[in-house]
Amino acid sequence: MEITGNAYNVARDHVCAANHRAKDDVLKVLLPMLETNETLRKHQEQHKARFKHYREAYAEYMIDIYFKSLPPEEEQ
């Protein structure tokens, strides 16, 4: 979840307004981070999940979990 937290912080500080944190903005930051993640690449190869859509679905899942863990005052 650390990578998702990093993407959230970058989106909060550099992509979207401080008051608005959209999951789509976090996704835009997270996808390039996952692109170079060797562990995820190996997992995709082992499970024959080579499509870009797998990575997007996984990123959306990670973001959903992360947003659920945020304190209520940070959720948007």
Interval 15-71: pLDDT, tens = 776 666 688 899 999 998 888 888 888 887 888 877 778 889 989 999 999 999 988
Asked if residue 75 belongs to a domain, the reply is: no
Asked if residue 50 belongs to a domain, the reply is: yes
Asked if residue 76 belongs to a domain, the reply is: no
Count: domains in the chain: 1
Asked if residue 41 belongs to a domain, the reply is: yes
Asked if residue 31 belongs to a domain, the reply is: yes
Provide the whole-model pTM.
0.76
What is the per-residue pLDDT for 62?
Answer: 92
Asked if residue 28 belongs to a domain, the reply is: yes
Residues 6+ apart with CB under 8 A from 30: 3, 4, 7, 59, 62, 63
DSSP states of the chain as a string?
A: -HHHHHHHHHIIIIIS-TT---HHHHHHHHHHHHHT-HHHHHHHHHTT--SHHHHHHHHHHHHHHHHHHS-TTT--
Range of the domain at 27: 2-69
Asked if residue 74 belongs to a domain, the reply is: no
